[in-house]
């Protein structure tokens, strides 16, 4: 995995606003509903070509397919895992109250109505289908992951990019999305999911791409279970880090980056699990780089943790320097300052500038407006240029005495 040897490299979390015409057929495919497969393939190929071109034009160094071949970072796995059955009722995890929704009930009720109205504009109903594990878990998405790889290879061919990455959902999140009714214990179920997803992870790395593991549940679980203690939450996390590492066996650590975040929840959020309560566990994930939220008002101060907590010498941080939950576009100077803070504590070579989270959500109609998303990515690259100039000039002055 490349590091910021000569300048601060830039990347993002994965999902970028999808063309509106892609949303319904992608959701139909992931939900097992009828769709025009040949037409969708053409649309995906064109969308990925366009989104890669736009990332390069913005100055993004480490690009991906914008997840334009998937309805979301989460539901794409619905058709890649065997052993599941569909039931017509909302998934249980959606209806659970969180610490924040209990503290701000009026805010969350207003948000629910607003998002429902926005989804209605896309023609997409409320989530009504659950996937339940009723038999042995196995990976059946070989053709789909090959398509992901082929689309991205075609889009970057002959292009000047530093590297390219492909996202993959973690076993921990699939455990929540797919209710278990087959395996005797949660641990047995988790390891079955890990064994299945290893096939996808390995295909991505074998194809020459960086693998990004998406695992928001690792740190959102605490908010989702209001009566959970910090101690018990750490036990929850320890097992799931162990399981994820099992799924990464045989995959070079320096081809993996790990992303965790607080989801797309643009809300008051006063009960987010703080970085100081999980950073040590996160660093146990077999990855070279760690992508974390660091730009929004709830977490921008947490860069200071790295003053006391040593980042292992071979590891990289990908802090968010622009946020998905603030609609104001960050000034490049603010972006530069954020980058310089991290460079000051872990070293400039071990910082890659990123985003807090993705700009396209798991539900149609909830994504950041495309104009805002692309403006933020431009601010990110402009800020990285400013920070690079300062950091390398400062080093040159020191070298000159």
Averaged pLDDT, 343-370: 84
- The CATH code of domain 9-400 reads 3.20.20.210
Averaged pLDDT, 165-178: 97
Averaged pLDDT, 183-207: 98
Q: Quick one: pLDDT at residue 126?
A: 46
CB 189 within 8 A of CB 175: yes
pLDDT more than 70, % of the chain: 94
Q: Which one-letter DSSP state was computed for residue 7?
A: S
Which region, left, alpha or beta, applies to residue 234 given φ > 0 means left and ψ of -120 to 50 means alpha? alpha
Q: Quick one: pLDDT at residue 366?
A: 56
Strand, helix or coil for residue 298: coil
What digits encode the pLDDT tens for the residues 359-374? 986 444 456 889 999 9
Q: C-alpha distances in angstroms, 341 versus 125, 234, 333?
A: 44, 28, 12
Domain ranges of the chain: 9-400
């Amino acid at each position: 995995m490349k590091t910021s040897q000569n300048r601060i490299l830039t990347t993002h979390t994965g999902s970028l606003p999808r063309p509106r015409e892609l949303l319904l057929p992608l959701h139909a495919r992931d939900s097992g509903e009828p769709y025009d497969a040949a037409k969708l393939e053409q649309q995906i190929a064109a969308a990925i070509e366009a989104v890669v071109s736009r990332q390069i034009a913005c100055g993004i160094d480490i690009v991906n397919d914008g997840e334009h071949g998937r309805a979301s970072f989460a539901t794409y796995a619905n058709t890649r895992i065997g052993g599941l059955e569909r039931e017509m009722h909302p998934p249980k995890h959606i209806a659970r109250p969180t610490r924040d929704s209990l503290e701000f009930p009026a805010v969350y009720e207003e948000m629910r109505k607003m998002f429902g109205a926005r989804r209605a504009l896309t023609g997409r109903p409320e989530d009504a289908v659950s996937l339940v594990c009723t038999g042995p878990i196995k990976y059946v998405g070989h053709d789909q992951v090959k398509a992901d790889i082929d689309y991205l290879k075609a889009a970057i061919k002959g292009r000047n990019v530093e590297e390219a990455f492909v996202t993959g959902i973690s076993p921990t999140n699939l455990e929540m999305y797919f209710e278990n009714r087959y395996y005797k214990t949660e641990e047995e179920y988790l390891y079955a999911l890990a064994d299945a997803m290893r096939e996808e992870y390995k295909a991505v790395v074998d194809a020459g791409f960086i693998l990004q593991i998406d695992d928001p549940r690792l740190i959102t679980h605490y908010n989702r279970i209001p009566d959970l203690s910090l101690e018990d939450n750490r036990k929850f996390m320890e097992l799931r880090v162990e399981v994820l590492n099992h799924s990464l066996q045989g995959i070079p650590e320096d081809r993996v980056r790990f992303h965790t975040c607080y989801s797309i929840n643009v809300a008051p959020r006063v009960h987010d699990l703080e970085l100081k309560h999980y950073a040590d566990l996160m660093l146990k994930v077999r990855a070279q780089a760690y992508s974390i939220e660091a730009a929004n008002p709830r977490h921008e101060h947490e860069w200071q943790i790295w003053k006391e907590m040593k980042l292992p010498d071979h590891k990289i941080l990908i802090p968010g320097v622009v946020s998905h939950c603030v609609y104001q576009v960050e000034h490049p100077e603010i972006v530069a300052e954020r980058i310089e803070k991290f460079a000051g504590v872990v070293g400039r070579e071990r910082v890659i500038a990123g985003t807090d989270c993705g700009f396209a959500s798991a539900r149609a109609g909830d994504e950041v407006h495309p104009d805002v998303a692309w403006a933020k990515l431009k601010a990110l690259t402009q800020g990285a240029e400013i920070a690079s100039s300062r950091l390398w000039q400062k080093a040159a002055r020191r070298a000159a005495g």
